[in-house]
Each structure stands twice: as structure tokens, then as C-alpha cells.
Amino acid sequence: MKRNIVIIAGGDSAEFEISLQTSKHIFNTLDKNLYQVYIAVFKGQDWKVNLDDKEYNIDKNDFSVVISNQKIKFDFAYIAIHGTPGENGILQGYLSIMNIPHSTCDVLSSSLSFNKHACNSYLKALGYQFATSILIKKNETFDCNAIKNKVGLPCFVKPNADGSSFGISKVSEFKDLESAILKAFKEGNEVIIEEFISGLEVTCGLVKTRKEEIVFPITEVVSKNDFFDYEAKYDPKMAEEITPARISPELTLEIQNLSSDIYDALKCKGIVRIDYIIKDGKPYMLEANTIPGMTSNSFIPKQVKAMGRELSDILTLVIEDQF
């Protein structure tokens, strides 16, 4: 009998539409010989399964849906929400209560990795390298001069816990710092300001299951914008993505091993992507993405293809690891 798999998309962040694209790509990729696949779209308290251009309300009491007078309970949830509630541990907590296995990290790992400042502070204590940063909270006074003196210019200003590429600014002139901070506060209650590190940006995806540990080829990112922003991330014309990255075999192995170590340090599960800046041959971690984009233009599908694997097989590994 086929397992009932639900792909959960949507969410309450600015990347709602990207999540829908991710869910469709996962839907088209999953092995239909093994799974009966459904897509559920969440928006606030509105949870619905979309099937054949019709919508069916999900019963939150047992996470089930009734279609054609048949009650369907899901065996597994593939979380495809970027941002809240899919990436910060909220949905993981609900699914754990419902005793439904899912594709991502558990509650603690999800909430930790989602909060950039908390995650960086934790990993720094373990000896990993990061840019200098400072955290400010909404409704607190902040001193732009003090911020500049600590992180320097240029710097990056971004929401601390949003899970998207919205609200991010690269600030090169002091006069633009305050407006960039206010822009980031529109996306969240905390803002992180980071030292700008000039170097080569790369990203490394990986997955670990009981059967296999697979570290994907590294991708080099060359943005045609000032930095790898939302437009560069999702418009293939605005960035060049080179897989494998044009770095030495020794540095490739170092970053792949580093990614594996960070995966374990954060107690990750499922497919994860870790981003870096390489300066003077030294990788600095930018962030860990526990629900990386899975659209046709996203890094992970391209990295899997570059290593000669089928994405459907990787997704099957993730699902079957929970049974």
C-alpha cells in the first residue's frame, strides 16, 4: 500500500509564492509508484489540501482531510514552507504532537537555526568562523555610530529571524544605515547587522539518513546584483551558479567536511544547505538553511543532478528514513 505523503506549502512569510513553487517541484519529483502525494497550503489558520482544483479543509484535531467521503490520514509531512511556521519549529512541534514524521529538523534545531544571531552565537562557541555582528531589537534605541564602529562599512542589515531574502540591505554609506535598519524591522522584531566580508560566495547541500550520508557538490554563486538578494536568488538571469565551484579539491573537501560537522552540531535532519563566504582561502559560514528552496532554479536540485543522482531517490531516502 502506498504511503500518504502531504507536502506542506505556503506559510506566513514573504516567500509564500516561492514555497508554492517548491511544493510543486517536490510533487512532480516524488515517486508516485511509492507514494500517494497531496499538497496542503497553509496561510495563518487556514489549512487546506488542494486537489484537482478543489480545496478541502484539514482537521487540525488529527491532521486529516475528508475527500469524496473518505477520511485520509497522512503518514508523512514534507515541509516546504520557507519561514514561519515551517522553518522555525512551530509546525514541527504540532506534527510531533500528532505523531506524524516529517522531513526537517526537530523543534529545537529548527528554532535555533532560524534565529541567525542565536545560531551564530552557538556555533561561534564551538569554534566556527563568522563575520562580526550585532543584534538590535524593535522599540530599543540604537546608535548607528556604535554599530558602524563595531561592524564597519560596508555591512549587511537583515531581519534576524525571517527565513527569506526580503528586508536585506547592503549598506556602503553611513547615511543609509538607519533606513536599512528600519526596512529590516518591517520583516521582523529583531535585526542583525553583520560585517561585510569580501570574497567568493559558495553553498553546500547535504543530507544524512541511516542508510546514507550524502554531501552534494559545492555551488559557486556570482550575483549580477550588488549581492545575492531575492532577485538574484530566483531569477536565473541575475546570477551565475557554477557547480562544482571553481575552487581547489582541498578547499572543496574542507567545506564539505565543515558542512557535515555543522549539520551534526545543529542536530539537523533532512536536506540542509549551508552558505559560506571564502576570504583568503578561509570559509566563513553565513547561515544554515534547514528548508532550502527546491524549485527548478534552486541550488539543491542542481547539485543533486551535478553529482549524477536523481532527486526523486534523495527525497525517497528522506521519507523512508522515518519508518
8 A C-beta contact, residue 291 and residue 81: yes
pTM (predicted TM-score):
0.91
The CATH label, of 3.30.230.70, 3.40.630.30, 3.30.1490.20, 3.40.190.10, for the domain at 133-191 is 3.30.1490.20
Reply yes or no on whether the pLDDT at 134 is more than 80: yes
Confidence of residue 317 (pLDDT cuts 50, 70, 90): very high
Q: How many CA atoms within 13 Å lie on the side-chain side of 104? A: 35
CB atoms under 10 Å from CB of 248, counted, come to 10
Reply yes or no on whether the pLDDT at 123 is more than 90: yes
8 A C-beta contact, residue 102 and residue 77: yes
- For residue 166, the Cα-to-chain-centroid distance in whole angstroms is 13
DSSP string, 244-281: S-SS-HHHHHHHHHHHHHHHHHTT--EEEEEEEEEETT
Reply yes or no on whether the pLDDT at 234 is more than 70: no
152 beta partners: none
In tens, the pLDDT along 91-118 reads: 999 999 999 999 999 999 999 999 999 9
Q: Phi first, then psi: give them for residue 125, nearest 5 degrees.
A: -65, -25
In tens, the pLDDT along 8-39 reads: 999 998 889 999 999 999 999 999 999 999 99
Query: Considering only the top CATH level, what class is 3-102?
Result: alpha beta
- Is domain 111-128+198-320 classified as CATH 3.30.470.20? yes
The span from the CA of 290 to the CA of 269, in Å, is 8
Pairing of strands 35-43, 54-59: unpaired
How do the domains of the chain map onto residue ranges?
A: 3-102, 111-128+198-320, 133-191
- DSSP 8-class letter at 176: G
Reply yes or no on whether the pLDDT at 232 is more than 80: no
Q: Which pLDDT value is given to residue 29?
A: 97
* 3-state secondary structure (DSSP) of residue 117: helix
